[in-house]
Amino acid sequence: MGQKVNPNGLRIGVNKDWEAKWFAGKKNFSEYLVEDVQIRNYIKNVYKPAPLSKEAPVAEGENQDSRPQRKLDDRPRISKIVVERCDQYIKVKVFTGRPGLLIGKEGSGVEALSAAVKKICKDNHHTYPNYLIEFVAVKSVDADAQLVAEEIANQIEKRVSFRRAMKMSMKRAMQSGAKGIKTMVSGRLDGAEIARTEQYHDGSIPLQTLRADIDYGFAEASTTYGRIGVKCWIYHGEVFGKKVDKKGGEA
C-alpha cells in the first residue's frame, strides 16, 4: 500500500501538516476550496519556471511591456503553498528556494500578491479584514522533493538526457544530507514511439514506515513529443515523538 499512496497524504497528522488550515461548514466548504485552488493556480502560473511572455499573468499595477525578460533558471520555483483562513485574516505562505525574487524591491512582490489574493477573494464574495502574505525560504533546495522534480522537468525541457538529469539531481540531494532518494520519469522518453517508465534510486526509501519523514514531489515536462511526468521521493530520516500540533478543543 505504501508504494501506491501519496506519501504526504498517508502521513497527514503523523509527521506531515495540512497545507489548507481552515474549517468550514457544509454550506461554505466548496466555496473556500475553489478559492484555495484559484489562489494556488495564480501563484504557480505567475512564478512558474518558464520564460516571461505577453500571455503570462501580470500583477496589478505592473506594466506588461516594461517587464524585464528573465532566463528560464532565473524564475523562483515554488515548493508548496499553505493557506490559513479565519474570520480576521487570510494568510498565504509561499515556500520557495529564492524568496528574494518573490518579495521584490521594497516589498513590491508582497503588495502585488496581496492585491491579487484580495481580488480573488472578492470575486468569490469573501472579504477579510487582513490579507497576509509570507514568503518562507526552503532550507535545502537540493533536498526538497518538489523542487528536485521541477528541476529534472526543467532539464528535460532543455533537451538534457533524462538519465543525466535524474542522476545529477540525486547526487546533489544525497550530498545535501538526504538519506535516500528515488526518481521516476514516465512518457515518451527521448522521443520514443512507445511510452515507458524508468526510475532510479539511491539510499533507503521506507515508504510503508509511517514515522519515516518522506518528502514527495511531482512535476511535468512539456516537450515536442508530449508531456513527461516526473516523480520524486526523498527520505530525511525517522521522526520520533514529533506529532503535528492539533489546535482547538474537543467538539
CATH of the domain at 33: 3.30.300.20
pLDDT, one tens digit per residue, over 165-207 is 999 999 999 999 999 999 999 999 989 999 999 999 999 999 9
Whether 101 and 122 share a structural domain: yes
Whether 82 and 176 share a structural domain: no
42-56, 90-104, 164-178, 191-205: which has the minimum mean pLDDT? 42-56
Whether 188 and 206 share a structural domain: yes
Whether 111 and 170 share a structural domain: no
Q: Please answer whether residues 217 and 150 qualify as being in contact, where contact means their C-beta atoms are separated by less than 8 angstroms.
A: yes
Q: Is the pLDDT of residue 1 over 90?
A: no
What mean pLDDT is predicted for residues 87-113?
86
CATH number at residue 203: 3.30.1140.32
2-16, 48-62, 76-90, 214-228: which has the minimum mean pLDDT? 48-62
Domain contains 88: yes
Whether 21 and 132 share a structural domain: yes
> In the chain, how long is the greatest CA-to-CA distance?
57
Domain contains 2: no
Distance from C-alpha of 194 to C-alpha of 188, rounded to nearest angstrom:
6
Whether 32 and 128 share a structural domain: yes
Q: What type of residue sits at position 5? A: V
46-55, 90-99, 180-189, 202-211: which has the minimum mean pLDDT? 46-55
pLDDT band of 54, cuts 50, 70, 90: very low
Q: Is the pLDDT of residue 81 over 60?
A: yes
Res 104: pLDDT: 79
Whether 171 and 128 share a structural domain: no
**How many domains does the chain fold into?**
2
Domain contains 9: no
- On average, the pLDDT of the chain sits at 84
Domain contains 11: no
Choose one of 105, 137, 169: the last residue of a domain. Answer: 137
Instruction: For residue 89, list its beta bridge partners.
Output: 130
> pTM for the whole thing?
0.81
DSSP for 112-157 reads: HHHHHHHHHHHHTT---SEEEEEEEE-S-GGG-HHHHHHHHHHHHH
Domain contains 100: yes
Whether 155 and 227 share a structural domain: yes
- Dihedral through CA 138, CA 170, CA 77, CA 137, nearest 10? 10
In the structure grid, which three cell numbers stand for residue 135, read together? 514568503
What mean pLDDT is predicted for residues 133-140?
89
User: Order of strands across the sheet with 180-187?
Assistant: 196-203, 180-187, 226-238, 212-223
Of 229 and 3, the structure prediction assigns the larger pLDDT to 229
Res 2: pLDDT: 66
Whether 75 and 36 share a structural domain: yes
Distance from C-alpha of 216 to C-alpha of 38, rounded to nearest angstrom:
22
The fraction of the chain above a pLDDT of 70, given in percent, is: 83
54-58, 107-111, 118-122, 182-186: which has the minimum mean pLDDT? 54-58
Parent domain of 182: 141-238
Q: Within 10 Å of residue 251's Cβ, how many Cβ atoms?
A: 3
Choose one of 93, 114, 137: the last residue of a domain. Answer: 137
User: What are the start-end ranges of the E strands in the chain?
Assistant: 20-21, 78-85, 89-96, 130-137, 180-187, 196-203, 212-223, 226-238
Whether 170 and 202 share a structural domain: yes
Whether 93 and 32 share a structural domain: yes
Whether 131 and 145 share a structural domain: no
What mean pLDDT is predicted for residues 50-64?
43
Domain contains 182: yes
Domain contains 187: yes
DSSP symbol at 16: B
Domain contains 10: no
